[in-house]
Chains A and B, each alone.
Chain A
Amino acid sequence: MTSPSPNRPASATTGQAVERDPGSFRDPGGFVFRRDGVLYREIGESAFPDWEAFVASGLAARLIGQGRLIPYEDAPLSMAATADARAVVRPEALEFVSYPFEWTFGELKDAALLTLDVQLEALDAGWTLRDASAYNVQFRHGRPVMIDSLSFEPLEDGAPWVAYRQYCEHFLAPLALMARRDIRLGRLLRADPDGIPLDLAARLLPWRSRLSLGLLSHIHLHAAAQGRHAKGGDQAATAQRARIDRGRLRALIANLRGTTDGLRWEPSGTEWAEYADNTSYTEPATVAKENLVGAFVREIEGPMVWDLGANTGRYSRIAADAGKRVLAFDIDGAAAERNYRLVRRDGRVDVLPLVLDLANPSPGIGWASRERRSLLERANADGILALALVHHLAISRNVPLPMIADLFASLAPRVIVEFVPKEDPMVRHLLATREDVFPGYTLEGFRAAFAERFTIDSERPIEDSPRVLFLLTRR
């Protein structure tokens, strides 16, 4: 496949560095790669006729215009990575690739609804999605967008939706489990890159979920049918018999959409959702901290800020208002969900809330552990905000201060970090029910630990509070 063919430009297969995306291999029709750092998508021989027709149909342009499909530019064929290429496009680059198991409930639901809305739009134009992977959706300017331009094929009369199962495993099952059983079950997406097996979802869902016609059909009966058909019989013959007219297919997708949209979860009652309004800060301390953070953020060169322990995004917004693009990470799905709702309400395009346990960040998963990259591999921050965070890592999670400094140093060249001393009520609360085994947890200990990896640009006590804010530069 990669041998040079005589009628191709030499640069297609020689010279410049081509790096194939390790997560782009399942679809034989094409793949994504980087050439000299620029992202391209190659469309191969087998997918080219559908691609040409898709572009000519106007559907691609319509979806791009609606903000539902990632924009792209045509690129010269000489940019191709292999001799099989029939077309090359340059998709708009994303600032950050996030994964479904890092999304809040609302983000996963919006990504699901986007997928179905695209499918409905495609059906009306005589097209259909040939996959419905949650990894085909990314967040761009605060909204979900489909990134796989090769997911479309002409709708053949009578053909069922081949991606029905994948939609249920990637979207409906995790959303149903999160809404109807426990929000934390969204983590199962991290355990299985192919989505949640429907028989497992059916067993984990409460019995009363069967009373919803949608969940009964798309999960419980779906799982039972999979089990029955997997056991034997002529599967090819069964697949041949499955025909469905367009009206019924549209009704099915519309029902799937209604079922998905009907899943609700309210972010209350979990650990942190009320935290922002319940800190130890007095009003003058809050104002002083906001002003200091704003001033420090302006010292960060480059646009990308990761706010670690962002809660509902108060300081993420300060960074965003200072012109930064912010990833607002929080361990608590409820706080991140609230943040996402605020972002949606305000139409913000510069803050993306994500769910992350910094003491257990996303690992690389899938094929060769490289199909979906680890969080640390995706680190692209110009600066990080770590406010009211270090005491949780150092005391609640027993992580020594030098190791926290090491992690921060691996994430970004500039760090804005808040030290919360033992006399602070929040730390006293953390130590209330346990032995204080943290003799090194002092301002001096903090300075010494971070000085190993950083130079201290600025150290400012926060007015009307025992806390201290640092601006650091990586050595």
Chain B
Amino acid sequence: MPHVVLAYIDPGSGSLMIQVLVASIIAIPVIFRSRLAQLTSALRRRKDTPDPDDVAESE
């Protein structure tokens, strides 16, 4: 565990655990947003392909 050994200040085991937990929770919406972006871009790609029905509806 070299990064803990090298730390010349006490990082505190509780502080290490809570930051892992908090970071995981904070990252949920970040991950959710990136998944959502993937999904919407996939849908948009499908929609962007020419579809005779869409053209008919828009007219």
Partner of A252, one of B2, B3, B22: B22
Within 8 A of A (CB), among B7-31: 7-27, 30
Whether A164 contacts B1 by the Cβ 8 Å rule is: no
Number of A-B residue pairs having CB atoms within 8 Å of each other in the complex? 107
Q: In the bound complex, what is the Cα–Cα distance between A160 and B3 (angstroms)?
A: 9
Q: Is the CB of A244 within 8 A of B19?
A: yes
Inter-chain contact B17/A255, CB cutoff 8 Å? no
* A162–B3 CB distance below 8 A: yes
- What secondary structure prevails in chain B residues at the interface with A? helix
Partner of A160, one of B9, B10, B11: B11
* A165, B26: Cβ atoms closer than 8 Å: no
- Bound-state Cα–Cα, A475 to B4, Å: 57
Which residues of the partner chain B approach A42 to less than 8 Å between Cβ atoms?
none
Docked Cα-Cα span, A161 to B22, in Å, equals 12
Which residues from A are CB-within-8-Å of B23?
A: 244, 248-249, 251-252
A153 CB–B CB distance under 8 Å? yes
Of B2, B8, B15, B16, most A-chain CB atoms within 10 Å? B15
Instruction: Tell me the complex Cα distance, A161–B16, Å.
Output: 8
Select the residue from B2, B17, B19, B27 with max chain A CB neighbours within 10 A. Answer: B19
Complex Cα gap A247–B13 (Å): 21
Check B22 against A217 for contact (C-beta < 8 Å): yes
CB closest residue in chain A, given B28: A251
Report chain A residues within 8 Å CB of B13: 229, 235-236, 238-239, 242
Measured between beta carbons, the chain B residues less than 8 angstroms from A168 are 15
B55 contacts the other chain (Cβ, under 8 Å)? no
Partner of A229, one of B6, B7, B14, B22: B14
A316 on the interface (CB 8 Å rule)? no
The answer to whether A163 touches B12 (Cβ under 8 A) is no
Q: Are B8 and A239 in contact (CB under 8 A)?
A: no
Q: Which of A27, A162, A221, A228 has the most CB of B within 10 A?
A: A162
Most A CB within 10 A of own CB, among B7, B10, B23: B23
Identify the 4 closest CB pairs spanning chains A and B, nearest first: A229-B14, A165-B15, A242-B16, A226-B14
- By a beta-carbon cutoff of 8 Å, the part of chain A in contact with chain B is 26-29, 130-131, 153, 156, 159-166, 168, 217-218, 221-222, 225-230, 235-236, 238-244, 247-249, 251-252, 255
What are 20 inter-chain pairs, A to B, with CB distance below 8 A? A28-B8, A153-B3, A153-B6, A162-B9, A162-B16, A165-B15, A217-B25, A218-B22, A221-B18, A221-B21, A221-B22, A225-B18, A227-B14, A236-B13, A239-B1, A242-B19, A248-B26, A249-B23, A251-B30, A255-B22
